[in-house]
């Protein structure tokens, strides 16, 4: 069927209402049945120029899938009920559809031709349906290489780029060991993304599959501290640094030393560790129950913090965003198929509206001062409104307000890789704190040391980390096989 886009309206997966989901950290999305999903897949137009899979720069932003997923091809297979064939086609380009099908912002859909004058195809949900049906039906099995090359690779970091790189290198036939400083593998998939967005048994399902394929995971091991970089370099034929961009951007304001100010990444990690039963995670200390919470940052991480503190039973929550409120519709200067710079109300904000009667986001606001009590504990913040009349944020005199705050969570992004690993390996860095390589390459200035993911390109998306991991693996494989036996 090639006219599904004329026959069927877009139908998204059902979602639990906010009050029905905030009492649990479980996933709150249900799934369409097979017939409805096949109808949704049939809405794909099989375009002559499928921007959904194009992966090109438009207007300074990336349009379409960075992985080059063959969306029209596997949508057509879904529409015909050929689920296993659709999974095979999807897995040609994607390492972990079970992750991107849950947490990717769906660049493919934003570039869908149907979205030019109507509603885009449900590409991300179709992707998730394909991979989950493949897992449930036993179609997804471990794929160990037929023979090994005798080459060894150490991958430092087990986030999405490290996992993708390790998976591909293992399938090329190399012996791969992944080093992870946390108690569980997965990086931000495990501890940076809340369980309600990505349940941790989904992450571990993939980890166990990779172990069956021959990848070795060494957790609770921080390279540069527990094991030296020199030992890693001398012990392996190649090394991949995939530790992410994990240095959080701080807020330098008066009173910053008050107790109760935490980085969002530490808060979300503690929340997940507490959920998983880690008794030494600090999860009880970092608990928002009965507390007023101020979140600095209006992005996805800030939204995840909103959803988490509501589940913990916070007294109230606001989210400060420096930038102006985006428009609700595309502007003339932001045409399809560019990424739409429009207002998005995500699950955390939806829950705040339901629980507290308002969107938590306050636009063109920032913190001017943190206010502590006599014991040094945070009790309020002073905010100030911002003007962008000259293109740069300027404080508006007289706009200061005092806001009660028992907890402040800083979700203002990240500024580069941690120096523990970069200094230990002696790799050169860019001005933004990422590991430097030549354009389009993954090898560093240190012989046989490579890099991938956010550590290489800066803070980005899971789908980009996977793309980087796969491309880095190809370059490492070329290096290993070229270097001879």
- Domain closes at, from 136, 160, 188: 136
254 inside domain: no
Please give the Cα distance from 332 to 314 (Å, whole number): 40
Which domain, by its residues, includes 184?
152-246+415-482
What residues are paired with 15 via a beta bridge? 29
443 inside domain: yes
What was the pLDDT predicted at 62? 82
The answer to whether the beta carbons of residues 293 and 407 sit under 8 Å apart is yes
Whether residues 326 and 353 share a domain: the answer is yes
Whether residues 303 and 383 share a domain: the answer is yes
Whether residues 158 and 242 share a domain: the answer is yes
Q: What is the CATH number of the domain that holds 356?
A: 3.50.50.60
| pLDDT under 70: residue ranges of the chain | 1-2, 279-284, 484-485
Question: Could you give the number of structural domains in the chain?
Answer: 3
Whether residues 78 and 15 share a domain: the answer is yes
252 inside domain: no
Please give the Cα distance from 52 to 174 (Å, whole number): 33
Whether residues 421 and 366 share a domain: the answer is no
3-class state of residue 109 by DSSP = helix
The answer to whether the beta carbons of residues 307 and 349 sit under 8 Å apart is no
Minimal CA–CA distance to 165: which of 469, 453, 475, 485?
469
- Domain closes at, from 379, 410, 441: 410
What was the pLDDT predicted at 281? 53
The answer to whether the beta carbons of residues 460 and 154 sit under 8 Å apart is no
Q: What is the pLDDT of residues 68-122, one digit of tens each?
A: 999 999 999 999 999 999 999 999 999 999 999 999 999 999 999 999 889 999 9
Helix (H) / strand (E) containing 350 = helix 347-356
Whether residues 372 and 317 share a domain: the answer is yes
Please give the Cα distance from 462 to 469 (Å, whole number): 11
- Domain closes at, from 136, 160, 183: 136
Token digits of residue 336: 């399809």
144 inside domain: no
Helices (H) and strands (E) in the chain, counts: 18, 16
Whether residues 290 and 340 share a domain: the answer is yes
Please give the Cα distance from 311 to 282 (Å, whole number): 17
Token digits of residue 146: 């037929």
255 inside domain: no
What was the pLDDT predicted at 435? 98
What was the pLDDT predicted at 484? 60
Whether residues 393 and 300 share a domain: the answer is yes
141 inside domain: no
Q: What is the pLDDT of residues 351-398, one digit of tens each?
A: 999 999 999 999 999 999 999 999 999 999 999 999 998 778 999 999
Residues 6+ apart with CB under 8 A from 447: none
143 inside domain: no
Residue that has been written with the tokens 């800066």 in this structure:
458
Whether residues 276 and 233 share a domain: the answer is no
Rounded to 5, what percent of the chain is helix, strand, coil?
A: 35, 15, 50
**Predicted model pTM:** 0.96
The answer to whether the beta carbons of residues 57 and 63 sit under 8 Å apart is yes
359 inside domain: yes
The answer to whether the beta carbons of residues 356 and 370 sit under 8 Å apart is no
| Helices 34-41, 71-79: inter-axial angle, 10-degree rounding | 140
Q: What is the CATH number of the domain that holds 121?
A: 1.10.1060.10
Whether residues 115 and 157 share a domain: the answer is no
What was the pLDDT predicted at 48? 87
What was the pLDDT predicted at 63? 87
Whether residues 422 and 406 share a domain: the answer is no
Helix (H) / strand (E) containing 62 = strand 61-63
What residues are paired with 262 via a beta bridge? 409
Whether residues 312 and 429 share a domain: the answer is no
């Amino acid at each position: 069927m090639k006219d599904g886009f004329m026959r069927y309206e877009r139908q998204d997966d059902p979602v639990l209402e906010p009050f029905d989901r905030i009492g649990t950290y479980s996933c709150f999305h249900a799934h369409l049945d097979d017939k409805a999903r096949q109808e949704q897949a049939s809405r794909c137009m099989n375009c002559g120029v499928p921007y959904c899979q194009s992966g090109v720069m438009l207007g300074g932003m990336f349009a379409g899938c960075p992985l080059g997923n063959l969306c029209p091809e596997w949508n057509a297979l879904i529409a015909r009920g050929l689920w296993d064939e659709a999974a095979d086609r999807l897995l040609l380009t994607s390492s972990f559809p079970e992750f991107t099908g849950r947490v990717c912002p769906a660049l493919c859909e934003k570039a869908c031709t149907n979205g030019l004058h109507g509603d885009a195809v449900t590409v991300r949900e179709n992707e998730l349906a394909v991979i989950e049906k493949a897992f449930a039906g036993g179609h997804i099995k471990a794929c160990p290489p037929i023979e090994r090359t005798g080459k060894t690779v150490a991958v430092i970091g087990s986030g999405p780029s490290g996992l993708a790189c390790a998976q591909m290198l293992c399938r090329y036939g190399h012996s791969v060991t992944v080093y992870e400083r946390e108690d569980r593998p997965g990086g931000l998939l495990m501890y940076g993304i809340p369980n309600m967005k990505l349940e941790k048994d989904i992450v571990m399902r993939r980890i166990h599959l990779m172990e069956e394929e021959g990848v070795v995971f060494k957790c609770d091991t921080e390279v540069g501290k527990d094991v030296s970089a020199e030992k890693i370099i001398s012990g392996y034929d190649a090394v991949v640094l995939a530790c992410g961009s994990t240095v959080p951007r701080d807020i330098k304001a008066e009173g910053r030393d008050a107790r109760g100010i935490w980085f969002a990444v530490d808060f979300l990690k503690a929340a997940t560790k507490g959920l998983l039963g880690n008794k030494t995670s600090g999860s009880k200390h970092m608990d928002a129950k009965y507390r007023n919470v101020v979140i600095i940052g209006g992005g996805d991480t800030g939204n995840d913090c909103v959803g988490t503190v509501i589940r913990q039973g916070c007294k109230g929550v606001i989210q400060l965003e420096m930038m102006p409120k985006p428009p609700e519709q595309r502007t003339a200067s932001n045409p399809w198929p560019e990424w739409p710079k429009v207002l998005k109300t995500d699950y955390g904000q939806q829950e705040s509206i339901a629980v507290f009667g308002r969107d938590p986001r306050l636009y063109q606001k920032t913190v001017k001062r943190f206010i502590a009590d006599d014991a040094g504990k945070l009790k309020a913040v002073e905010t100030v409104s911002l003007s962008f009349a000259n293109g740069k944020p300027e404080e508006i005199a007289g706009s200061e307000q005092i806001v009660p705050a028992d907890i402040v969570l800083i979700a203002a992004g990240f500024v580069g890789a941690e120096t523990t690993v970069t200094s230990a390996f002696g790799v050169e860095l860019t001005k933004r704190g990422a590991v430097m390589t030549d354009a389009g390459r993954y090898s560093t200035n240190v012989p046989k040391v490579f890099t991938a993911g956010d550590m290489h390109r800066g803070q980005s998306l899971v789908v980009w980390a996977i793309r980087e991991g796969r491309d880095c693996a190809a370059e490492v494989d070329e290096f290993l096989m070229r270097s001879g036996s």
